[in-house]
Amino acid sequence: MASDHNHSIPLKVYFNILIALLILTVITVVAARIDFGVLNTVIALGIASIKATLVLGYFMHLKYDDKLYWVVFGNAIFFLILLYFLSVLDIFTRIPQMNPL
Residues 6+ apart with CB under 8 A from 14: 58, 59
CB of 42 to another protein, least distance (A): 10
* Phi-psi category of residue 56: left, alpha or beta, with phi > 0 → left and psi -120 to 50 → alpha: alpha
Rounded to 5 degrees, what angle do the CA atoms 54, 55, 58 make?
Answer: 75
Q: Give the number of residues in contact with another protein, rule: CB under 8 A.
A: 50
In the bound state with another protein, the residue whose beta carbon lies nearer, of 91 and 95, is 91
CA neighbor of 41 nearest in space, from 28, 54, 26, 56: 28
47 makes contact with another protein (CB under 8 A):
yes
Which residues are near another protein by CB under 8 A? 1-2, 4-6, 8-9, 11, 14-15, 17-18, 21-22, 25, 28-29, 32, 40-41, 44-45, 47-48, 51-52, 55-56, 58-60, 65-66, 68-69, 72-73, 75-77, 79-80, 83-84, 87-88, 91-92, 99, 101
